[in-house]
């Protein structure tokens, strides 16, 4: 038995689905079901006895401890987080509460549970904290990629809150001896991605005939990681990672945002043709405040020590992603609720269109 937090969100739900497909081991899935948590992501395992869903908040330490004591998991995989930079700029409070206070409450409950386990169970227990490359800040065009020893320099309320949670997890290992693991991943993409992030937003807007908004000049560089590759990396770290260690997870796919959008438009031109090209819908808008220019992950440690490397190239992964969204338009329509659309309007309404 493992406990997964945030298992109805994008990466968390993909992990739960992959875990149950790869393993017979049961999962307790704790999720608050905020706007980005979606039980429809888990529809294919509805009724599966190996999956127990609990609607709850990681900030509720008493609830978490009761779940740990009841189900006695051998590991906690901690995905639950507020994760969208633009939302953190418009309203940082929820990011501080969930990412910092929530991780603290989870760690405290885990420590209380772990500290009284029998010797064998105590040694085998793991707390795996899933974090982001954004804690490292931004890179210049010729800088080497982030490694596990890169100095933290977060630049947004989101990345600062994740950096704080990383430090808490580290401290619980060094102070209390808790067997923790941390992974810092690059930008994920794939099925069930909430359509506020770049790739699903561009696909949804393109098909709806709406503008495809590009921040600034579109030359911001990201390293793109297909979500199932990320899930496989987490399984490897959980199985053989050394407690107290950090492992960076990347796709070895650096691309500018504009190149990503051009690629999506070209695939859609072939898969869902219309009159003219989807590139005609591209619109340049005022850049995000403090927008990091480049992220890049050196995932060499994970390959050298644990034998993991991504199975998908960006070309293969992005094709699978577009095909999934084309085949699951009902899922997209369902998540584009009034609350979500009001946020989209708020975020983009005040951004001037670049001339």
Active site residue 158: yes
Catalytic residue of the set 113, 136, 158, 226: 158
> For the domain that residue 47 is a member of, what is the CATH number?
3.40.50.720
Could you tell me the residue range of the domain that residue 51 belongs to?
Answer: 2-189+225-252+294-313
Residue 70 confidence (pLDDT) above 90: yes
pLDDT in tens, 250-280: 999 999 999 999 999 999 999 999 999 999 9
Active site residue 269: no
What percentage of the chain exceeds 70 in pLDDT? 95
The strands making up 187-189's β-sheet, listed across from edge to edge, are: 187-189, 221-226, 254-256
The predicted structure's pLDDT at residue 299: 98
Catalytic residue of the set 31, 82, 86, 133: 133
pLDDT band with cut points at 50, 70 and 90 for residue 152 = very high
Euclidean distance between CA atoms 96 and 91, whole angstroms: 10
Residue 44, in any domain of the structure: yes
Euclidean distance between CA atoms 125 and 74, whole angstroms: 5
Residue 323, in any domain of the structure: no
CB 36 within 8 A of CB 94: no
The predicted structure's pLDDT at residue 355: 44
| Number of domain units in the chain | 1
Residue 346, in any domain of the structure: no
Residue 215, in any domain of the structure: no
pLDDT band with cut points at 50, 70 and 90 for residue 153 = very high
- What is 154-221 written as a DSSP string? --SHHHHHHHHHHHHHHHHHHHH---EEEEEE-EEESTT--TTSHHHHHHHHHHHT--EEEETTS--E
Euclidean distance between CA atoms 268 and 19, whole angstroms: 31
Q: Work out the average pLDDT over 5-13.
A: 96
Higher-confidence residue: 87 or 123?
Answer: 123
The residue among 157, 250, 269 whose CA lies nearest residue 212 is 269
Catalytic residue of the set 31, 57, 86, 134: 134
pLDDT in tens, 36-65: 888 999 999 999 999 999 999 999 999 999
Q: Mean pLDDT of all residues in the chain?
A: 94
Residue 214, in any domain of the structure: no
The predicted structure's pLDDT at residue 349: 65
pLDDT in tens, 319-352: 999 999 999 998 988 887 656 556 557 665 665 5
Residue 335, in any domain of the structure: no
pTM: 0.93
The predicted structure's pLDDT at residue 350: 62
Residue 58, in any domain of the structure: yes
Active site residue 118: no
Residue 340, in any domain of the structure: no
């Amino acid at each position: 038995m493992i406990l997964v937090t945030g298992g109805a969100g994008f990466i968390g739900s993909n992990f739960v689905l992959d875990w149950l497909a790869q393993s017979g081991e049961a999962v307790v899935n704790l999720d608050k079901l905020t706007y980005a948590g979606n039980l429809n992501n888990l529809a294919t395992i509805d009724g599966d006895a190996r999956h127990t869903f609990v609607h709850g908040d990681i900030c509720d330490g008493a609830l978490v401890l009761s779940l740990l004591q009841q189900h006695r998991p051998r590991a906690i995989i901690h995905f639950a987080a507020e994760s969208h930079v633009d939302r953190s700029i418009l309203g940082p409070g929820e990011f501080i509460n969930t990412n910092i206070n929530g991780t603290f409450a989870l760690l405290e409950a885990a420590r209380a549970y772990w500290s009284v386990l029998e010797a064998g169970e105590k040694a085998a227990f793991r707390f795996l904290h899933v974090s982001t490359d954004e804690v490292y800040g931004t890179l210049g065009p010729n800088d080497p990629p982030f490694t596990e020893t890169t100095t933290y320099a977060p630049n947004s309320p989101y990345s600062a809150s994740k950096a704080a949670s990383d430090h808490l997890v580290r401290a619980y290992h060094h102070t209390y001896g808790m067997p923790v693991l941390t992974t810092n991943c690059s930008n994920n993409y794939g099925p069930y991605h909430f359509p506020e992030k770049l790739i699903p937003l561009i696909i949804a807007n393109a098909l709806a005939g709406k503008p495809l908004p590009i921040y600034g000049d579109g030359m911001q560089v990201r390293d793109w990681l297909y979500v199932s590759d990320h899930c496989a990396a987490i399984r490897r770290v959980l199985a053989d990672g050394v407690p107290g260690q950090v492992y960076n997870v990347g796709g070895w796919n650096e691309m500018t945002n504009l190149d990503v959008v051009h690629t999506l438009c070209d695939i859609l031109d072939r898969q869902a043709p219309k009159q003219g090209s989807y590139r005609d819908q591209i619109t340049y808008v005022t850049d995000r405040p403090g927008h990091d220019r480049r992220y890049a992950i050196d995932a060499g440690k994970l390959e050298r020590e644990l034998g993991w490397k991504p199975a998908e190239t960006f070309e293969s992964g992005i094709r699978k992603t577009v095909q999934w969204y084309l085949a699951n338009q009902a899922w997209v329509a369902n998540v584009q609720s009034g609350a979500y659309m009001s946020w989209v309007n708020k975020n983009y309404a005040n951004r001037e269109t670049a001339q």
